[in-house]
Amino acid sequence: MKKFVIGNWKMNGDALEVHEYVHDLKNALEGMPCSVGVAVPSLYLPQLTALLGRIPVSVVAQDVSQFKGSGAYTGEISAAMLRDAGCDYVLIGHSERRQYFDEDEMVLQQKILCACDAGLTPIYCVGENLEQRLQCHYLQVLDKQLEALEAVRGHLPDTVWVAYEPVWAIGTGKVADAGQIAEVHAFLAARLAEILPGRCHAHLLYGGSVKAANAREILALPGVDGVLVGSASLTVAELSRIIAEAGAPV
Ligand code: PGA
């Protein structure tokens, strides 16, 4: 299976940058050795979809409403609206959503449900903070976070994505080392095999200070099916180096 490289812009960029990014990305994708997705702020998703046209890059939403259908939820964007805007995937439970918007497993399971019902593939993000890592609680923390997926197991599509993003590695320049990533990915794969229905297969991404200089090593680790890239995805130059590393021999 091809590796999946997803760029998450977070709350960065503007319409002009989306335009220039797609223009430059087209050239970077020649002979692309991996699958690529881009998560821009929701306001720019329709623009991204339109500019990409037939370019094989997946449009990824950064978040989705927990509320089903439509209605009086000022400021919210529903899963169906994201589908309408051309999205195939949606990030759910990113640590910044958990931290700044108090999203817990109850809210996140509603979001996963809404995404799945609308035909979006969820990319469910999990990860421990520094204190939990230092106190060696991280596997329990991750296990608890997986409960949101387990709770809606009957509604999941046949393929789901889980991104392991240790909070202490996000935007800090500190990357989890090979042993740490391999350990957690093996744990997640084993737990997901237990809690997901037999028809359902989970793929695993790693995220947290991924850049061209470390992408090859991370992508070569057992159980790493791709990377979720934040700040290094903001320029096509760096993202294309990561894409190239995804196909490089190890
Ligand atoms: P970073 O962010 O690559 O800037 O550390 C990763 C993420 O939050 O997905």
> Is residue 78 over pLDDT 70?
yes
β-pair partners for 125: 163
CATH class of 4-246: alpha beta
Q: What is the pLDDT of residues 171-206, one digit of tens each?
A: 888 888 999 999 999 999 999 999 999 999 999 999
In 3D space, the residue among 242, 206, 207, 243 whose CA is nearest the CA of residue 224 turns out to be 206
Kindly state if the Cβ of 210 falls inside 6 Å of ligand 1.
yes
To the nearest whole percent, how much of the chain has pLDDT over 70? Answer: 99
| Mutational test site, ligand 1, from 60, 94, 228, max ligand atoms within 8 Å of CB | 228
**Which ligand 1 atom sits nearest the alpha carbon of residue 172?**
5
Predicted confidence band at 250 (pLDDT cuts at 50, 70, 90)?
low
Alpha-helical runs (H) found in the chain = 15-28, 45-52, 79-84, 95-100, 105-117, 130-134, 138-145, 147-151, 178-195, 212-219, 236-246
Does the CB atom of residue 226 touch ligand 1 within 6 A? Answer: no
DSSP label at residue 220: T
- Predicted pLDDT at 32: 77
Enzyme catalytic residues: 94, 165
* Closest-lying ligand 1 atom to the alpha carbon of residue 170: 5
pTM, 2 dp: 0.96
Provide mean pLDDT across the span 80-104: 97
